[in-house]
Amino acid sequence: GQQLNQSPQSMFIQEGEDVSMNCTSSSIFNTWLWYKQDPGEGPVLLIALYKAGELTSNGRLTAQFGITRKDSFLNISASIPSDVGIYFCAGQPSGSRLTFGEGTQLTVNP
């Protein structure tokens, strides 16, 4: 089946630093999504990308849909303590299912 490789698995950064994480796939996706999950909660959608090469921002977050349609990255600028959580990429080939990466655990030290 389709596999998503998400890296890094974890990051420990200082408040104010920028963060970058990425996902790669062996298969092509038509949609890339980035979610954040806090403990005991469901994933919350941060950014959705629907077109190869698309670069989209949401406040301090920026994500890009790779031109090959097999990768995506998420950048967070000027991190703050509330950015702490697990970030997941998810790819959607078409139709029903999302395939999730294993997540990046972000810790921000004040």
Partner 1 sequence: ETGVTQSPTHLIKTRGQQVTLRCSSQSGHNTVSWYQQALGQGPQFIFQYYREEENGRGNFPPRFSGLQFPNYSSELNVNALELDDSALYLCASSLGGGGWNYGYTFGSGTRLTVV
What is the binding site for partner 1 (CB under 8 A)? 1, 4, 6, 33, 35, 40-45, 88, 90, 92, 94-103
Is the Cα torsion angle 82, 44, 3, 53 positive or negative in sign? Answer: negative
Of 1 and 110, the one with the shorter C-beta distance to partner 1 is 1
Closer Cβ to partner 1, 82 or 94, answer by number: 94
Compute the least distance from the CB of residue 35 to partner 1, in Å.
8
Residue 74 to residue 34: CA distance in whole angstroms? 8
Question: Taking the complex as a whole, how short is the minimal distance between the CB of residue 64 and partner 1, in angstroms?
Answer: 19
d(CA 103, CA 44): 13
